[in-house]
């Protein structure tokens, strides 16, 4: 792999660089902060070729989406979002391919407080909801067919289930925790087809694809969200994919990697706050069928992520970066406990949903 210092020096002159240090990592790509001698900051990223089969396509999508967002933001002052800019090297190149198939790029640095992996107040949850609503509204008139598919099969839950079934047929659950996950998948596998079956009735447009809490940048000094980052998965999708994923992330106060997965709970008050914020910003973008199936989407996306983590665990941790053996199993347990917690509160959550998104 190209050294991050070398990659940084492709985009900016080597003698302007003061330091290149790793930034709070995602589960897939690697990210560095580049500090310049003049005090400037840049973001350097390497797109993981093991996950994105065509990283160039990801870059092309990024240009289309950020360009559209900037144009619409100039017209609509109610949504105050900062949009990262793709920077170019002196020779005009916006990307650097390395010999291992990875693709490097440099983006502007967006000034914000530290990354938050969880939301701890209704105000924070409402800010997340408003930002997602703004994001969807700004992209509502971008033709989805202009974007390529960065990750074929992403959010195709039945395909994840089929992949799990193939892996599980070769690797039997061996521990109590693995048996718990396998039992949850048995219990909830009916969820896999529910969004697909209704897809024709649901709103499809350009979506984010990965709107988890850590991708919302909060200002350091106010509770406001200043940006929604990590635009590698932007593509044509269902509004409910984003809403389901955002809610499963936001309403889990202990986060995706807590000490004790069994204590994971789905927080109904945060759920209400995200929905209220979303409705305030997005108005009636979500139609009748989207509103009817919203809680289903939260369950499907929670199930899907549990399934993805557990399958990766059984397959030898090939997709998600791990810190330790069993890390993906631990992450899967969290999602399955979250799913059970949603089940226990289903009636109350359905009622809240009807009241807020009438």
By CB under 5 A, name the binding residues for Mg ion: 210, 230
Classify the phi-psi angles of 153: left when phi > 0, otherwise alpha if psi is within -120 to 50, otherwise beta: left
Residue 264's binding partner out of ligand GN1, Mg ion, none, with CB under 5 to 8 Å set by partner kind:
none
Supply the minimum distance, in Å, between the C-beta of residue 232 and Mg ion: 6
Residue closer to ligand GN1 by CB (options 242, 256) is 256
By C-alpha distance, which of 147, 157, 274, 250 is closest to 205?
Answer: 147
Residue 256's binding partner out of ligand GN1, Mg ion, none, with CB under 5 to 8 Å set by partner kind:
ligand GN1
Q: How far apart (Å, rounded) are the C-alpha atoms in residues 300 and 241?
A: 9
DSSP letter at 219 equals P
Residue 342's binding partner out of Mg ion, ligand GN1, none, with CB under 5 to 8 Å set by partner kind:
none
Supply the minimum distance, in Å, between the C-beta of residue 77 and Mg ion: 28
Residue closer to ligand GN1 by CB (options 26, 277) is 26
Residue 55's binding partner out of ligand GN1, Mg ion, none, with CB under 5 to 8 Å set by partner kind:
none
Residue closer to ligand GN1 by CB (options 51, 314) is 51
Residue 177's binding partner out of Mg ion, ligand GN1, none, with CB under 5 to 8 Å set by partner kind:
none
Residue closer to ligand GN1 by CB (options 178, 210) is 210
Supply the minimum distance, in Å, between the C-beta of residue 345 and ligand GN1: 22
Residue 27's binding partner out of Mg ion, ligand GN1, none, with CB under 5 to 8 Å set by partner kind:
ligand GN1
Supply the minimum distance, in Å, between the C-beta of residue 308 and ligand GN1: 7
DSSP letter at 37 equals T
Residues that bind ligand GN1 (CB under 6 A): 26-28, 51, 151, 210, 212, 230, 233, 256, 305
Beta bridge partners of 103: 47, 97
Residue closer to Mg ion by CB (options 30, 352) is 30
Sign of the torsion angle spanned by Cα atoms 122, 110, 214, 302: positive
Residue closer to ligand GN1 by CB (options 242, 267) is 242
Supply the minimum distance, in Å, between the C-beta of residue 336 and Mg ion: 21
Helix axes 239-250, 294-315, angle to 10 degrees: 70
**Is 16 within 8 Å of 106 (Cβ atoms)?**
no
- For residue 177, what are its two tokens? 């925790």
Residue 51's binding partner out of Mg ion, ligand GN1, none, with CB under 5 to 8 Å set by partner kind:
ligand GN1
Residue 181, CA atoms < 13 Å, CB-side half-sphere: 33
Helix axes 122-139, 239-250, angle to 10 degrees: 160
**Is 158 within 8 Å of 196 (Cβ atoms)?**
yes
By C-alpha distance, which of 275, 307, 314, 29 is closest to 160?
Answer: 307
Supply the minimum distance, in Å, between the C-beta of residue 25 and ligand GN1: 8
Element (H, E) at 266: none
Supply the minimum distance, in Å, between the C-beta of residue 221 and ligand GN1: 25
Q: How far apart (Å, rounded) are the C-alpha atoms in residues 250 and 223?
A: 15
Residue closer to ligand GN1 by CB (options 134, 305) is 305
């Amino acid at each position: 792999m190209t050294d991050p210092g070398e990659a940084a020096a492709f985009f900016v002159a080597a003698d302007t660089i003061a330091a290149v240090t790793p930034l709070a990592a995602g589960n897939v790509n690697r990210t560095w902060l580049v500090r310049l001698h003049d005090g400037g900051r840049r973001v350097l990223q390497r797109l993981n070729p093991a996950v994105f089969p065509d990283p160039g396509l990801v870059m092309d999508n990024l240009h289309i989406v950020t360009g559209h967002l900037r144009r619409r933001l100039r017209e609509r002052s109610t949504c105050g979002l900062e949009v990262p800019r793709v920077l170019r090297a002196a020779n005009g190149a916006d990307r650097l391919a390395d010999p291992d198939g990875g693709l490097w790029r440099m983006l502007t640095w967006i000034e914000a407080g530290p990354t938050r992996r969880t939301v701890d107040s209704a105000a924070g949850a409402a800010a997340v909801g408003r930002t997602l609503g703004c994001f969807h509204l700004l992209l509502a008139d971008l033709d989805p067919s202009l974007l390529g598919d960065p990750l074929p099969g992403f959010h195709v839950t039945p395909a994840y289930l089929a992949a799990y079934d193939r892996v599980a047929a070769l690797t039997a659950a061996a521990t109590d925790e693995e048996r718990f996950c396998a039992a949850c998948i048995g219990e909830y596998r009916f969820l896999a087809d529910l969004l697909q079956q209704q897809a024709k009735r649901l709103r499809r447009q350009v979506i984010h694809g990965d709107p988890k809490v850590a991708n919302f940048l909060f200002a350091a000094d106010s509770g406001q969200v200043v940006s929604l980052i990590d635009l590698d998965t932007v593509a044509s999708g269902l509004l409910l994919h984003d809403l389901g994923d955002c809610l499963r992330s936001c309403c889990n106060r202990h986060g995706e990697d807590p000490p004790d997965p069994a204590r994971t709970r789905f927080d109904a008050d945060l759920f209400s706050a995200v929905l209220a914020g979303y409705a305030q910003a997005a108005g009636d973008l979500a139609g009748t069928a989207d509103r009817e199936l919203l809680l289903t989407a939260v369950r499907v996306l929670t199930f899907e992520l549990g399934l993805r983590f557990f399958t990766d665990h059984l397959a030898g941790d090939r997709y998600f970066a791990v810190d330790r053996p069993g890390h993906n199993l631990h992450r899967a347990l969290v999602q399955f406990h979250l799913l059970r917690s949603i089940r226990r509160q289903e009636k109350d959550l359905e009622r809240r949903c009807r009241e807020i998104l009438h």
